[in-house]
Amino acid sequence: HKLTQKYRQENKQLNCIQKDIVIGSLLGDGHIDKRLDQPIFIISHAENQKDYLFWKYNIMKDFFNSPPKYYPQKEKYFKQNGYVCQPFYRISSRIHNCFIKYREMKVVELMNNLNELSFSICMLDDGYRGESNWDLCVAA
């Protein structure tokens, strides 16, 4: 029946809600691997956002091999300076070519594709409640 991993990689498509999760996460705490032949969607969240990550996983689980994995706190080094990496959960998808389109989008293109759900995901990933309003932290 041609139901191989290669067939799945080339033909599996995102539904509307899954597209919103990808777009919102790419503007937030997710990314797609940059290796040309490895379009893998990866999301990481801090330990206190475990339930939120499992919500994303449950909607997109047909793209993943396994549920989110826990990574405990550990010390890392960057240019001889040590820092503590807080505990977090991470999921990595299988290789699916449908992610290539989103990996190639510039930030402005992702923003032009925002709707209510994808914007909410972006805010839940990188936003926080200030004194009188919501603020969004974004990379330079």
Question: pLDDT tens digits for 47-86?
Answer: 999 999 999 999 999 999 899 999 998 777 777 777 777 8
Question: pLDDT tens digits for 91-104?
Answer: 999 999 999 999 99
35: which 2 tokens? 């290796």
Once rounded to an integer, what is the mean pLDDT over residues 2-18? 89
- pLDDT > 90 fraction of the chain, expressed in percent and rounded: 64
The separation between the first and the last C-alpha atoms of the chain, rounded to the nearest angstrom, is 47
Hey, how many other C-beta atoms are within 10 angstroms of the C-beta on 111? 14
Ramachandran sector of residue 118 (left: φ over 0; alpha: ψ -120 to 50; beta: rest): alpha
Hey, how many other C-beta atoms are within 10 angstroms of the C-beta on 47? 14
56: which 2 tokens? 């994303």
What's the CA gap between 83 and 77, in Å, rounded? 6
Q: What is the mean pLDDT of the chain?
A: 90
- Residue with the bigger pLDDT between 137 and 133: it is 133
Q: How confident is the model at residue 136 (pLDDT cuts 50, 70, 90)?
A: confident
Does residue 68 contact residue 54 with C-beta atoms inside 8 Å? yes
20: which 2 tokens? 């919103």
What single-letter amino acid sits at 43? I
pLDDT greater than 60 at residue 112: yes
Predicted confidence at residue 2, as pLDDT, reads 67
Does residue 103 contact residue 39 with C-beta atoms inside 8 Å? yes
Predicted confidence at residue 1, as pLDDT, reads 64
Which domains are delineated in the chain? 5-136 (3.10.28)
pLDDT greater than 60 at residue 134: yes
What's the CA gap between 7 and 44, in Å, rounded? 27
pTM value is 0.86
